Structure 1
Amino acid sequence: MDAIIAQLQSLALTSALPYLLKAVGALVLWFVGRTVINGFRRVLNLALQKRQLDATLIRYIESLFAGSLTLLLLLGILGMMGVETTSFAALLAAAGIAIGTAWSGLLSNFAAGVFLLVLRPFRVGDEISAAGVTGVVQEIGLFATTLDTSGNLRISVGNNRLFGDNIINFTHHPHRKIVVNLPLLYGGDLRLQMRALLEMVSTQPGVLQQPAPAIEVAEFTALGPVLGIGVHCKPTQATAVHAAVAGAAADFLVASGYSVAVDTARQLTAKVG
């Protein structure tokens, strides 16, 4: 029995103890490596913020930086444990090719996300219309962009669909033009009514005075002229300003005695430009 115990002790010292020491060393290397990576990540974040880059782009670069260093750290730990890293790297490359072939659509979304961040057709907080969706951009992710619609719905759209479609950015410029069409019947002093309507519209909340509001005759129909009421506002106030201008136009119709023919089924319509 003593001989068996002695053999077990000798086996533990010659075989188990080195593996235990390697495991402890791997744990220490992991925690130290992660601490160093997090430190580099914070330094990178401060450097990018000093350059006043977009917050989404900063997070994007941080994720790529931390992921690459973490992968190198894992390879180093495996090498310290005695695992052949060359064969592991070859296996990883082969798996990458297989995954890339199977997930070609996902990779195209990734590539499109990089181009969206570099070319900047829109930023987080912009209201855009693309790929059949209109909403405020909440996040530009690695593979998809998240938008919140006016109906309080959250929609995620693949970056490749956004990048391959026409993108309308409603908030790129400091002001936005709204045109409200007002159909009228013939009769009355049209010029006088246009001036009165312009004074009423100019006082509405959110309507900018520069560029100045304007009212023009958009077209003539068999029943009467159609006025185009054009005003400018801040992009974030477009919906409220449209409602205010349309309400002012309705009040003007009542006060001036104008009426809209019922059989034409024409109502106040809006076109945002």
Structure 2
Amino acid sequence: MDTATIQNVLSTNLNLLTGAAFKVIAAIVLWFIGRKLIDISTGITSHTLKNQRIDPTLIGYLVSSLTVLLNIILVVAILGYFGVETTSFAALLAAAGVAIGAAWSGLLANFAAGAFLIVLRPFQVGDFISAGGITGTVVEIGLFVTTIDTPDNVRTFVGNNKLFSDNIQNFSTNAYRRVDIHAQLDHSVNHGEAIRVLRERISNIPNVISNPAPQLEILEFTALGPVLAVRPFCNNTHYWQVYFDTNRVIRESFSESGFPIPQQHFQIRQS
């Protein structure tokens, strides 16, 4: 092989390598520019939707869906730049989607359940709920999982399908909820007097609402004496404050009124 041929081969290979390197660098630049444009687009979309006073739950879901779609378009565009036939890629992507869908049916079920949660709206961001074995405040309803902060400040991620297929209790929907507490009395205590004292004190607890009024009745009888059902009402936001204050009021009221500590009483008879 003569010198001219070698030079031609080297020149051709160098041109190919230079062109490939240029395309790789260009693809990387396009990726970062595209990602930046996607962030800007989703940010503008989110800001626009917030200005329209659209539900934050729906905004988060739409922005997440838009982000996924734009990223797919970006990848297809970069592959097209490299000369990959995008129509073939689309067919391949569809086939891969079917295969992945069969393998990841649970993931798709979570996606579908998330869409139903958005449409049916059993809860929204900021609501205090109990569902899927988790109780807490909804932080975000995502494409596949819902983020919940539990009362002990633990962030928990629950699959949307688990939430949608389970019973959902929304404590934030109604204007108020009931606090259920039991108060044990001794046999010797006049239950009417105990109810009168508690009713007066509980009505003065902060954030206890007057309509409906607190409920105080005999719930059951035990070996120690009658058990009172003490049930004040309050907004869900103040539930634990009212719960603890009611327990404190019961203890202080019984002590100040001189009610004896509940004890079991026995009678022994000799035949």
TM range (shorter): 0.7 to 0.9
* Aligned 8 A contact 2:186 2:263 in 1: no
CA distance in 2 between counterparts of 1:98 and 1:70 reads 20
Q: What is the distance in 1 between the residues matched to 2:182 and 2:56? A: 40
The offset of 1:63, in angstroms, is: 2.1
1:203–1:6 CA distance, 2 compared to 1 (3 A): same
SS in structure 1 of the partner of residue 122 of structure 2: coil
Question: Deviations along 1:89-114, whole A, 9 cap, x unmatched?
Answer: 22211211111111111111121122
Alignment of 1:1-273 (within 5 A): 3-4=4-5, 7=8, 11=12, 15=16, 19=20, 22=23, 26=27, 29-30=30-31, 33-187=34-188, 189-219=190-220, 224-259=225-260, 261-263=262-264
Provide closer, same or farther for how the CA distance between residues 26 and 259 of structure 1 changes in structure 2, counting only shifts above 3 A: same
Contact 2:126 2:138 in 1 (8 A): yes
In 1, the alpha carbon distance for the partners of 2:256 and 2:21 equals 91
- Tell me the TM-score normalized by structure 1: 0.80
SS at match of 1:124: coil
**After the TM superposition, which parts of structure 1 deviate over 6 Å for at least 4 consecutive aligned residues?**
none
Distance 1:131 1:80, change over 3 A: closer
TM-superposed CA distance for 1:47, in Å, is 2.4
Residues in 1 aligned to 2:189 and 2:85: alpha-carbon distance in whole angstroms: 92
Superposed CA RMSD: 3.0
Q: Equivalents in 1 of 2:16, 2:195: separation in Å?
A: 97
Superimposed CA distance per residue, residues 194-230 of structure 1 (whole angstroms, 9 cap, x where no aligned partner):
2222111112233223433232333456764432222
Change (3 A) 1:223 1:59: closer
Change (3 A) 1:261 1:90: same
What are the Cα deviations for residues 38-91 of structure 1, in whole angstroms up to 9, with x where unaligned? 443233112211232333432321121122122223222322322122222222
Moved more, 3-12 or 237-246: 3-12
Paired residue secondary structure (2:180): strand
TM-score (norm 2): 0.81
DSSP 3-state at the match of 2:172: coil
- Partner amino acid, structure 1, of 2:50: Q
Instruction: Note closer, same or farther for the CA distance 1:188–1:150 as it changes in structure 2 (3 Å cut).
Output: same
Q: Secondary structure at the match of 1:107?
A: helix
Gaps of 5+ in 1: 265-273
1:140-194 per-residue CA deviation (whole Å, 9 max, x = no partner) reads 2322223333344443322111111111112222322113222324456543442
Separation in structure 1 between the aligned mates of residue 68 and residue 218 of structure 2, nearest angstrom: 60
Residue range with higher mean Cα deviation, 30-39 or 90-99: 30-39
Aligned equivalents of 1:54, 1:256: Cα separation in 2: 52
More moved, 255-264 vs 155-164: 255-264
3-state SS of the aligned residue for 1:72?
helix
Q: Please list every run of 5 or more consecutive structure 2 residues that lacks an aligned counterpart in the other structure.
A: 266-271
Task: Specify the SS of the correspondent of 2:246.
Answer: helix
CA deviation after TM superposition for structure 1 residue 9, in Å? 7.5
* Matched-pair identity in %: 45
